[in-house]
């Protein structure tokens, strides 16, 4: 798939500015591209963009089959179970085969982190362990690395707000290396239009390498 941006700058600004305007526009576009790609990898519909891993059909783990995304329900609509909130967080990793579980990590947004970091096991200890970015120590949940992703849905009724998997094997990103920039002075003179272009694709390749936690009764 192709992602495009077409910023413009006047010829005078390109000639007179104390900074490299073209480089600044290219950097800004690359940030925008990265954000758009991140959204697509999670929820993209596959129409002229990567297909996100949350765009496939969901089925409960007991009925899982290839081509679908398996999930475990929390047992309470829109929340963790009030009686034993940590159970689902401890059980979901066990829904993966050991070969995938060894390299698996969590995905969730910051709102979800705010919820799960206060959950305790039955013996009273927190399932969340705070990392130290300065020392390269990651945050963990139930013993597995937790990666924050703002593109993941927030906790809500029926939301698949947490995902757990071996993402290197679960999701394939096809990224043609290179970020192309073409100058076009003819469309809107005296403005210079920059055509910035990147090609990227993605989709699930191993449906057995990840699972989601659905915040629902079933």
> What tokens does 83 get?
């009686």
| Burial class of residue 39, CB neighbours in 10 A (0-12, 13-18, 19+) | middle
What local confidence, expressed as pLDDT, does residue 177 receive?
A: 72
Give the C-alpha separation, 92 to 12, whole Å. 59
**DSSP for 137-187, written as a single string:** BPPEETTEEEEE-TTSPPS-TT-EEEEEE-HHHHEEEEE-S--EEEEE-SS
Could you count the other beta carbons within 10 Å of the beta carbon of residue 2?
A: 11
What local confidence, expressed as pLDDT, does residue 141 receive?
A: 98
What local confidence, expressed as pLDDT, does residue 19 receive?
A: 86
Give the C-alpha separation, 68 to 57, whole Å. 5
**Rounded to a whole number, what is the largest CA-CA distance in the chain?**
70
Residue ranges of alpha helices (H) inside the chain are 11-16, 21-43, 87-91, 98-101, 110-116, 167-170
What local confidence, expressed as pLDDT, does residue 73 receive?
A: 98
What local confidence, expressed as pLDDT, does residue 16 receive?
A: 86
Could you count the other beta carbons within 10 Å of the beta carbon of residue 73?
A: 18
- pLDDT < 50 regions, the chain: none
Average pLDDT, the chain: 94
What local confidence, expressed as pLDDT, does residue 163 receive?
A: 98
47 φ/ψ angles, rounded to the nearest 5 degrees? -90, 100
Contact 41/50 with Cβ under 8 angstroms?
A: yes
Give the C-alpha separation, 204 to 41, whole Å. 9
Contact 106/147 with Cβ under 8 angstroms?
A: yes
HSE, CB side, 13 Å, CA atoms: give it for residue 42: 21
What local confidence, expressed as pLDDT, does residue 71 receive?
A: 98
């Amino acid at each position: 798939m192709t992602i495009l941006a077409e910023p413009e700058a006047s010829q005078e600004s390109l000639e007179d500015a104390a900074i490299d305007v073209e480089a600044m526009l290219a950097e800004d576009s690359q940030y925008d591209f990265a954000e758009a790609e991140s959204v697509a990898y999670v929820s993209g519909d596959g129409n002229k963009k990567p297909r996100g891993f949350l765009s496939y059909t969901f089925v409960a783990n007991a009925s899982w089959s290839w081509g679908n995304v398996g999930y475990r329900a929390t047992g309470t609509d829109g929340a963790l179970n009030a009686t034993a909130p940590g159970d689902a967080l401890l059980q979901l990793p066990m829904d993966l085969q050991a070969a995938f579980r060894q390299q698996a990590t969590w995905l969730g947004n910051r709102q979800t982190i705010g919820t799960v970091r206060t959950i305790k096991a039955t013996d009273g200890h927190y399932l969340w362990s705070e990392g130290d970015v300065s020392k390269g120590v990651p945050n963990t949940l139930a013993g597995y690395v937790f990666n924050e992703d703002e593109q993941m849905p927030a906790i809500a009724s029926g939301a698949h707000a947490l995902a757990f998997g071996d993402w290197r094997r679960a999701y394939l990103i096809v990224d043609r290396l290179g970020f192309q920039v073409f100058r076009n002075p003819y469309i809107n003179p005296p403005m210079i239009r920059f055509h910035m272009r990147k090609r990227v694709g993605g989709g699930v390749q191993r449906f057995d390498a990840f699972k989601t936690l659905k915040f629902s009764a079933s």
